[in-house]
């Protein structure tokens, strides 16, 4: 696959949306090192090569990953238990994605309609928010809330409902994984992708509307008549 030619240099552009929904792992929190250690441990417990698991686990719910290797353990009690351990055991291995703390605070301060839609469990998200001392989103859709995980769009459609925007297609999704980009696009929303965990080519192929390096490229200009004005800087062009 040839490397896309271009650079992260698009001039600032302001777009208006009814609401914003963000993925969590890889988009707000960089927990890659912690997750790798976690799957090495789980792989050993399941008798599966962790490299095999890691090749397909990012952006997917753990329950769907475990179902492939040990269906007996693919239940919420077990998955919440193992994911709840991650921030406790590997908390020092995670950092916020650059710009995440500022963006979450700005969304809250402006009174924007926003929420987090993640393939992680509630135990995992609550754990990371606590360890990193980040603003807790009022709207949260977690792995346990949907029958099918990303790339199925129902997690993002549920997020829209929880924002009180059932009839709106004017939402923007922040994502880092192709499965999540596809979920956002299948829901009918615009998607801003971050190059935090996947290659530019993978994000383009998944159908992202804009691609930026991290959340420092995104800021809130204000909320007018309930709509959030989002500035996107230095997108790939």
- Rounded to 5, what percent of the chain is helix, strand, coil? 45, 20, 35
The answer to whether position 174 is within a domain reads: yes
62 and 172 housed in the same domain: no
pLDDT in tens, 166-191: 999 999 999 999 999 999 999 999 99
The answer to whether position 1 is within a domain reads: no
Burial zone of 218 (CB within 10 Å; 0-12 exposed, 13-18 middle, 19+ buried): buried
Q: How far is CA 118 from the centre of its chain?
A: 6
26 and 108 housed in the same domain: yes
128 and 77 housed in the same domain: no
The answer to whether position 86 is within a domain reads: yes
138 and 173 housed in the same domain: yes
d(CA 9, CA 137): 31
Last residue of a domain, one of 57, 90, 123: 90
Q: Of 123, 110, 147, whose CA–CA distance to 223 is shortest? A: 110
Say what the pLDDT of residue 154 is: 97
Say what the pLDDT of residue 2 is: 60
pTM, to two decimals: 0.94
Q: pLDDT tens, position by position, for the chain (237 residues)?
A: 566 789 999 999 999 999 999 999 999 999 999 999 999 999 999 999 999 999 988 889 999 999 999 999 999 999 999 999 999 999 999 999 999 999 999 999 999 999 999 999 999 999 999 999 998 899 999 999 999 999 999 999 999 999 999 999 999 999 999 999 999 999 999 999 999 999 999 999 999 999 999 999 999 999 999 999 999 999 999
Say what the pLDDT of residue 36 is: 95
List the end-to-end C-alpha distance of the chain, in Å, as a whole number.
18
The answer to whether position 3 is within a domain reads: no
Provide the domain count of the chain.
2
99 and 204 housed in the same domain: yes
Domain that holds residue 224: 9-30+94-236
Say what the pLDDT of residue 198 is: 94
112 and 181 housed in the same domain: yes
Tokens coding 229: 């004005």
- List Cβ<8 Å contacts ≥24 apart for 214-219: 214/97, 214/98, 214/99, 215/27, 215/28, 215/97, 215/98, 215/99, 215/100, 215/102, 215/103, 215/174, 216/98, 216/99, 217/8, 217/99, 218/99, 218/103, 218/174, 218/192, 219/102, 219/103, 219/106
Say what the pLDDT of residue 4 is: 72
Q: How far is CA 24 from the centre of its chain?
A: 4
Last residue of a domain, one of 54, 71, 90: 90
User: Would you please indicate which residues are annotated as catalytic (active-site) residues?
Assistant: 23, 25
CATH number at residue 72: 1.10.150.240
22 and 54 housed in the same domain: no
CATH number at residue 158: 3.40.50.1000
């Amino acid at each position: 696959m040839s490397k896309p030619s271009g650079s992260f240099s698009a001039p600032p552009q302001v777009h208006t949306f009814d609401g914003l929904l963000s993925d969590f792992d890889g988009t707000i929190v960089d927990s890659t090192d912690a997750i790798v250690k976690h799957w090495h441990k789980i792989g050993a417990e399941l008798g599966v090569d962790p490299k095999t698991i890691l090749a397909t686990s990012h952006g997917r719910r753990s329950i769907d990953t475990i179902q492939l290797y040990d269906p007996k353990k693919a239940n919420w009690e077990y998955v919440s238990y193992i994911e709840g351990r991650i921030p406790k055991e590997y908390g020092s291995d995670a950092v916020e994605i650059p710009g995440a703390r500022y963006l979450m605070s700005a969304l809250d301060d402006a009174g924007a309609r926003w929420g987090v839609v993640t393939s992680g469990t509630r135990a995992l998200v609550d754990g990371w928010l606590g360890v990193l001392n980040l603003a807790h989103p009022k709207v949260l859709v977690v792995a346990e809330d949907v029958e099918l995980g990303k790339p199925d769009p129902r997690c993002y459609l549920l997020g829209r409902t929880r924002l009180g925007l059932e009839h709106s297609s004017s939402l923007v999704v922040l994502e880092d994984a192709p499965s999540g980009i596809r979920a956002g696009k299948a829901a009918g929303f615009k998607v801003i992708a971050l190059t935090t965990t996947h290659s530019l080519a993978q994000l383009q192929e998944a159908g992202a509307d804009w691609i930026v390096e991290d959340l420092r490229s995104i800021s809130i200009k204000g909320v007018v008549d309930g709509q959030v004005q989002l500035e996107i800087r230095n997108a790939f062009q």
